[in-house]
Structures are given as structure tokens and as C-alpha cells.
Structure 1
Amino acid sequence: MAEPGLLGAAAIRELAAELELRPTKQRGQNFVHDANTVRRIVALSGVTAEDQVLEIGPGLGSLTLGLLEVGAGVTAVEIEESLAGRLPRTVAERLGDDAASRLQVVHADAMEVSELPGRAPSAVVANLPYNVSVPVLLRMLELFPGWDRGLVMVQLEVADRLVAGPGSKVYGVPSAKMAWYAEAVRVGTVGPAVFWPVPNVDSGLVRIARREPPPGDRVRTFAVIDAA
């Protein structure tokens, strides 16, 4: 049995070697290897054992383990077959069968998912791939209206855009579309040293609280936003 608990740097590299995984910039793969960072993300998300969490891009399982550690159920959507196949075993080895029973892995592209198995998610918590973070997040907000809160880690520049209000220098399409669905607040920054491979930028933690959508047609409004 593998060492119990969350993944550290050595465990991340061992898993990657086992799977012959070479993280690619194309898929924005940067894996968290610091347990304190993982537990900080989980704590800021407010997730409890009552929640069913949707996680996009679980990768080698760092954040998945942190969410399961507090008793939550996790539905993890992973595009890479090798990662999706290894994740349940990683959870069973490190946290035991009870945690593994609370995990559902969906091997799919998050941009193509239209339904999820099991319980509907009540929260979204994810270390989103840098290259698709905004479209994936907006798609999850649109498709699965039942979740009312979340916490995502994204590139710091993207985080600032997601939370920007009108008049801000970085206010733009992501800001306007996010505001349609939810209130977004940046609640922290994560340096590059806790990732493998080490990215060239800091990451931001964005807390999301869904609200009632404003009056009007969303599709028409978004078309206007895109054309602006």
C-alpha cells in the first residue's frame, strides 16, 4: 500500500513516471504537490461531508484527495485516459476504500460533458487547466445550475479578470459573463513553487457564489458582450 494521505512532490513524480506522463503546456497541466496548499484550497471552498463536489481536471489526484479527506463526494472529470484510470486506485491506496467509494471519475473532455453520473454537484472546486479555465468554468455554470458555490485556482491574470467590475482596467468578456451567473472574489494567491512542473506565473484563488440571474435572455446578452 502506498503512503497514506495527500500527495507530496516525490509521490507526484513517482505517479508521473509510472504513467509515463509528461505534462504539456497544450493541456495546461501543472500538478500541485504541496499538502498545505491543497488543504488551504479545500478550507477556503467551505466544502463539507454534505457536499458532492465537481472537480475538473483532477490530474494525479492532489486536490481530489484533499476533498475526499474532509468527507465530501467527488465527481472528477478527466480528459486523459491514463489519469482517469489511475485516480480511483490512488485514492484507495492513500485514503482507503471509504474514500474511494465517494469518488466517481468521468473520462471525458469537460467542454463536451453534458450530464454527470450520480448526485448532482453542490459545489465546484478545481485547479483548472490554464488554457481552458474560463470556457470550462462558464460551461459548468451554464450546464449544472444546481451548484451554488465554488473555488477555482486559475492563472493570476485570469483570476483578476474574472473578479473585475465595470471600470476596472482588466474588466472584459470573462468579467461580464461571470457576473451574469455569480459573484466572484479573489481570496488568495498561490506561488509557482508548489506546482510540478513549475509555471512561469502565480495562480489566483477565486471564490464563486451563484446568484439569481438578471432579467433578460442570456444567449442574446452574451452575444452582445462578445460583440463589444
Structure 2
Amino acid sequence: MPVQSHIASEQPGSGLLGAGDIRRLAMEAGITPTKKLGQNFVIDPGTVRRIVHEAGIHAGESVLEVGPGLGSLTLGLLESGADVHAIEIDAALARKLASTVREFMPEAAERLSVLNMDALQVQARDIPDFEDGRPFSLVANLPYNVATPVILTLLARFPALNSLLVMVQKEVADRLVAQPGTKIYGVPSVKLAWYGNAQRAGSVGRNVFWPAPNVDSALVRFQRTQGNHQPDDTRAVFAIIDAAFRQRRKTLHAALRGLVHDSAYQICGIDPKRRGETLSIDEFESLSLAESGRPFQEQHNLEASGSGYDAKLS
């Protein structure tokens, strides 16, 4: 789907931000975009409205935005009638965001809250409005260098985070939606699948950003489908996933030695000669459940006996 370019009026109170608005706001705040924080600001109102549309955001809904920057997407979300909770790590940008909304969309100012914090450190208690369990969405232009950990961290800490629409580097998007057996299928693909279903929602050109990045971008849509996992279950499954992909050319039997016993493969019907890159999230979960469900004595009396499988399985 091609990006449709629109010309913004770039006048106070007009709504969304254009290129001239972005540069003026950055100058006023003394902000120079930095690669360290992955700052590439969206300057095309058409792209902003496209993201909001793809996210399916409606009036009265609650939205979490990570890395709002100078407010391009924030204003688009507010334009939809949603309540926006923005998390911004850059103190200067966090201070500027509220005044930008008051300038361009004053009627929506009361529907914005800004938290100056690292999204990887945020807890449910930091955003009281999300503690009541009502579903909310994540919609964000995520910094490329932290996109995957931000997504997985927020899904783990906010059980009510029901859906997301994020703009990320194209290669990151490809990994997030990759399927078993493909070359780019890996830890991000499997861990995101633990929580629900992800799919590509289109591409975004470089010309809609200031400064223009050296990479292409893409949209990823996600819907939580797996309910709320217990933390212990998540840790157990993720430990197996991490080990299986640490040396992805190894068989499961070799990669998971000391973590998964031979009988677990038999219980769940998974061939230990397979590689981790061929397993679906359901198979990783089955392997974890089979391991955790083995009798206590069997799990704690095996060090002397070894694995019981022939070395050729490695």
C-alpha cells in the first residue's frame, strides 16, 4: 500500500504537523535528532492518519504511545478521539509535547498524559489508568534499536495490552512476523507468538521522516490471543526458546542438554533431532509443559545417569 502524501496547513490550531512545524518545534525546544535515541520524526500527516486507521483506534479508547517525539502521531491519535498516554525518555521532548498539543489541538489537551521515563523500565503502577484491566492498544513509531524489547516487555507487564500497531525497521518487522522454518525466524518471532498473532500491515517510505533514515520501515499489527500467561510459565518457555536459538544449527537434543530431559521429547512427540528454528510456539510450549510435568524424582535424579540418548543425536 503506497504512502499517500498530504500537505499540512502548518498553522497553529490546524491539527497535524507538517515538515515546517516539526523543524520549528525542534528548534524551539533546542532538539537535534540523535541516532542514539533512534529519533526520526514523521513529517507526513497522511502517514500519521494511515497508522491511526490501520490501528483501528476510535473515540473513547485508551492508547499507549512510546517515543512520541515532537507529537506527529500523538496528534493523530488525539484526533481520533482516543485518550493517549505517552512515554518519552527524552526530557526535552517530554516537556515540549504537552505545549505542542495545546497549540495544535487545544480541545484534546485533557486527553493526553506524558510520562518522562524509559519504556523498558515502566511498570503498571506508573500508569494508574491501565490498572483497572480495561483493554488498551499500543500505537507507536518505535526507535529501531529497542523496538523488540519494548514490545515484549510491555506485553509481559501489561496483561490488558490487547493489540498494537507499530512502525519499525523493515528487517525488524520481518523478524517479528516470521514463520517456523524460514531463515529469519528466531527468538523475536517465537516470543511474540507466545502472546498472540502478528502480521505485516504495509511498508513506509523513508521520505516521510526527518531526518530520513538509512533504512526502510514497515508496520506490524498484533492481536493478543493467548490470554494471560503466568510469569513462571513464560520464564520456562522463554528459557527453552533462548537456548534453542543460541546456537541455531544445533539439534534440540544438543542445544537443550541440561534443560530438557529425553523423556520430555517422548511425552510431547517432538523429535530431538529437529532444530529450534523448525518449532512453532505451540511446540515450544508443549516441550516446556512436558519437562515441567515430569515426576519430581525423575527431574532431580539424573545427573549421574546422563541423557540416555546416543551421541549421534547431537
TM range (shorter): over 0.9
Match of 2:307 in 1: none
Match of 1:48 in 2: 58
Q: Pick from 35, 44, 49: which aligns with 1:34?
A: 44
Match of 2:212 in 1: 198
Q: Pick from 177, 185, 191: which aligns with 1:171?
A: 185
Match of 1:225 in 2: 241
Match of 1:104 in 2: 113
| Structure 2 Cα separation of the partners of residues 201 and 3 of structure 1 | 33
Q: Deviations over 1:65-116 (max 9, x none)?
A: 00000100000000011111111110111011x3110001001010111123
Letter in 2 for 1:45: A
Identical-residue share of aligned pairs (%):
56
Confirm or deny: 8 A CA contact 1:4 1:93 kept in the other structure.
no
Match of 2:123 in 1: 114
Is residue 188 of structure 2 the alignment partner of residue 188 of structure 1? no
Which secondary structure does the structure 1 equivalent of 2:30 belong to?
Answer: coil
Q: Deviations over 1:155-203 (max 9, x none)?
A: 0000000001101221001001000011000010001000011001110
Which secondary structure does the structure 1 equivalent of 2:49 belong to?
Answer: helix
Q: Pick from 75, 89, 95: which aligns with 1:85?
A: 95
Aligned residues: 227
Larger Rg: 2
Shift of 1:119: 2.2
Aligned pairs (5 A) from 1:125-140 = 125-140=139-154
- Structure 1 window deviating more from structure 2 (22-31 vs 59-68): it is 22-31
Quick one: higher RCO (CA 8 Å, sep 6+), 1 or 2?
Answer: 1
Q: Pick from 214, 219, 222: which aligns with 1:208?
A: 222
Which secondary structure does the structure 2 equivalent of 1:106 belong to?
Answer: strand
What is the TM-score of this pair, normalised by structure 1?
0.96
> Superposition RMSD on alpha carbons, in Å?
1.5
Shift of 1:149: 1.1
Shift of 1:3: 4.5
What is the TM-score of this pair, normalised by structure 2?
0.70
Gaps of at least 5 residues in structure 1 are none
Which secondary structure does the structure 1 equivalent of 2:33 belong to?
Answer: coil
Higher strand share: 1
Shift of 1:50: 2.5
